[in-house]
């Protein structure tokens, strides 16, 4: 009888151990790529992203020319300050950049490399309708190995969308929670072209 109780206690401890390991594993999978210790004053770089304790600076610069028929098109360089808690980001063809946050929130930057088609002359900002959002995210914005895809994110009714258009760029806030809206809008205003 005593041996049976001891075996049951060991079995219970074994299950607790398994649950503890699984919970640690699941939380480690949810880490942010922009995590940095508050005491760490030096920024760290993750690809095009420079991570600071209070913000992220995404700075894109590429000298690799894209080709269309025989015409060479050079990527445009830019920088943008992004909010913390970034889960993942994707760069597609020097024209589309998507930043994924917790709770299916995303920021998208679409750069127009065609100088002739950049018809937007002034700064425009507005709340887009569903059809316009669908047009903005129509292309394939995820690589094969990516676990994120903006097209698969369902928009929650309470969440907000917001578009900023300037000459040569379109910025989209996608499925942003109301409590985070202002900080994300502020990040869009930080967008700047680089030489």
55 has a pLDDT exceeding 80: yes
Higher local confidence (pLDDT), 28 or 152: 152
Residue 85's pLDDT band, with cuts at 50, 70 and 90, is very high
Whole-model pTM?
Answer: 0.77
144 has a pLDDT exceeding 60: no
Contact partners, residue 165, CB within 8 Å, separation at least 6: 120, 123, 124, 125, 171
The SS3 of residue 83 is coil
20 has a pLDDT exceeding 60: no
- Lay out the sheet containing 77-82: strands in order across: 44-46, 49-51, 56-60, 77-82, 192-194
């Amino acid at each position: 009888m005593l041996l049976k109780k001891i075996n049951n206690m060991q079995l219970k401890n074994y299950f607790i151990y398994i649950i503890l390991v699984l919970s640690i594993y699941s939380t480690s999978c949810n880490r942010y790529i922009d995590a940095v210790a508050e005491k760490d004053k030096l920024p760290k770089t993750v690809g095009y992203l420079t991570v600071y304790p209070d913000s992220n600076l995404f700075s894109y610069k590429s000298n690799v020319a894209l080709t269309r028929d025989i015409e060479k098109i050079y990527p445009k360089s830019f920088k943008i300050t992004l909010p913390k808690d970034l889960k993942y980001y994707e760069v597609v063809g020097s024209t589309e950049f998507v930043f994924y946050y917790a709770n299916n929130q995303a920021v998208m930057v679409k750069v127009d490399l065609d100088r002739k088609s950049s018809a937007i002359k002034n700064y425009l900002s507005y709340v887009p309708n569903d059809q316009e959002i669908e047009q903005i995210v129509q292309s394939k914005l995820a690589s094969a190995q990516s676990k994120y895809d903006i097209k698969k994110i369902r928009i929650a009714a309470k969440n907000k969308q917001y578009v900023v258009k300037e000459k040569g760029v379109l910025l989209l806030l996608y499925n942003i929670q109301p409590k985070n809206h202002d900080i994300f809008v502020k990040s869009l205003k930080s967008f700047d072209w680089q030489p």
